[in-house]
Amino acid sequence: MLQKIEELKAKVNSLKAESIAEVEALRIQFLSKKGEISLLFNDFRNVAADQKRAIGQALNELKNIAGEKINALRAELESADTIDADIDLTRTAARHPEGTRHPLSLVRDEITSIFGRLGFSIAEGPEIEDDWHVFSSLNFADDHPARDMQDTFFVHRGPEVLLRTHTSSVQSRVMEKTQPPIRIICPGRVYRNEAISARAHCFFHQVEALYVDKNVSFADLKQTLLYFAREMFGPETKIRLRPSYFPFTEPSAEMDISCNLCGGKGCSFCKHTGWVEILGCGMVDPNVLEACGIDSKEYTGYALGMGIERITNLKYQVKDLRMFSENDVRFLDEFRSGR
């Protein structure tokens, strides 16, 4: 009997099956009530008492081995089955989701590259600033409303530590460290204490440009502005300058461009004027040059500053400023081609 058991063990160990049906046939052959192993169990009755223990053990072992073998064969075929069903090797690969550039980054890069072609290089400064660089060095009077808590976020008072309200602070930082010629373009984020709405946000982005050298004139400023407007909004774009006031420039102006939606004919976007305002500019006030250690008798300069959100709105007609910071992928996806 022991010999029979050993033969069956060897047979079971070498079993193979090509399909689930074959596995089932093997199970019946060995393990069903009338299967080969069960028949051996029937014979167990006739085994001599002194051999019962050894043969009983061997029989149980055989039954376990057969059970495990058949389960293993079944599991192997089942997993192979599901893989075959799921993998279609002719299918095109799943698309790897690609990110997009943020519209504000696209426009910022376009602005800095236009100025880059005129020889301006990028300069950056800190967002957490002191009073000197944001206000005092830029000729703001002590009682100027921008210094008020209502407009400016203060991190600390006395000494003042604040979030910069404009990128003009980078002007004074660079002028303090560098003697002319200076030709810089300064993109960055700025903060103002405003309630968030479709038209205002407590943070937004600006680009500042500064040119200081001998004999820099308002004519240079105007020509630079015209070049910028045409590169940015197309060769038909017209500009106009309106007198304005900023503490750090004298004279100061605001620039409008002919409305790029109606071509200057008048539409609801330009409130039927044909013009839209895009930036502030002027000749650097001699007080600012002196405050930053530049001789105002030898050097003159111009400066200009614009909001990147504003330019982006003009280019892409984004109606709600909040879209820029909500990170809704459906919105960001519209800029996939990096227009």
Distances (CA, A) of 152 to 97, 99, 164: 40, 34, 8
* Contact by Cβ (8 Å): 301, 284: yes
Q: Write out the binding residues for ligand DAH, residues 266-295 only, by CB under 6 A.
A: 280-282
- For ligand DAH, give the closer residue by CB, 27 or 310: 310
- Does 108 participate in binding ligand DAH (rule CB under 6 A)? no
Number of neighbouring beta carbons within 10 Å of residue 206: 23
Nearest to 191 by CA among 179, 208, 205, 203: 203
- For ligand DAH, give the closer residue by CB, 69 or 147: 147
Which listed residue (103, 125, 301, 305) binds ligand DAH by CB under 6 A?
305
Least Å distance between CB 144 and ligand DAH? 12
β-strand 121-122 against 239-246: which pairing, if any? unpaired
Burial of 127 (0-12, 13-18, 19+ CB in 10 A): middle
Binding segment for ligand DAH (CB under 6 A), chosen from 20-28, 41-49, 269-277, 297-305, is: 297-305
- How many Å apart are CA 152 and CA 224, to the nearest integer? 31
Most distant CA pair in the chain, distance? 125
Binding segment for ligand DAH (CB under 6 A), chosen from 37-45, 106-114, 298-306, 317-325, is: 298-306
- Does 216 participate in binding ligand DAH (rule CB under 6 A)? no
Asked, as a colleague might, if the bond just before 181 is cis with ω within 30 of 0, I would say yes
- For ligand DAH, give the closer residue by CB, 30 or 248: 248
- For ligand DAH, give the closer residue by CB, 59 or 255: 255
* Contact by Cβ (8 Å): 145, 182: no
- For ligand DAH, give the closer residue by CB, 216 or 303: 303
Specify the DSSP class assigned to residue 334.
Answer: T
Binding segment for ligand DAH (CB under 6 A), chosen from 3-11, 55-63, 76-84, 300-308, is: 300-308
Asked, as a colleague might, if the bond just before 159 is cis with ω within 30 of 0, I would say yes
Least Å distance between CB 301 and ligand DAH? 10
Contacts 24+ apart (CB under 8 A), 241-248: 241/281, 244/280, 244/282, 246/280, 246/282, 247/138, 247/139, 247/140, 247/141, 247/144, 247/285, 248/138, 248/139, 248/140, 248/168, 248/171, 248/282, 248/284, 248/285, 248/288, 248/303
- For ligand DAH, give the closer residue by CB, 188 or 280: 280
- Does 133 participate in binding ligand DAH (rule CB under 6 A)? no
Which listed residue (249, 258, 312, 313) binds ligand DAH by CB under 6 A?
249
- Does 304 participate in binding ligand DAH (rule CB under 6 A)? yes
- For ligand DAH, give the closer residue by CB, 17 or 208: 208
Q: 276 in helix, strand or coil?
A: strand
Q: Write out the binding residues for ligand DAH, residues 173-212 only, by CB under 6 A.
A: 208
Nearest to 29 by CA among 8, 46, 50, 48: 8
- Does 246 participate in binding ligand DAH (rule CB under 6 A)? yes
Least Å distance between CB 157 and ligand DAH? 22
**Which residues would be at the binding site for ligand DAH (CB under 6 A)?**
166, 168, 208, 246, 249, 280-282, 303-305
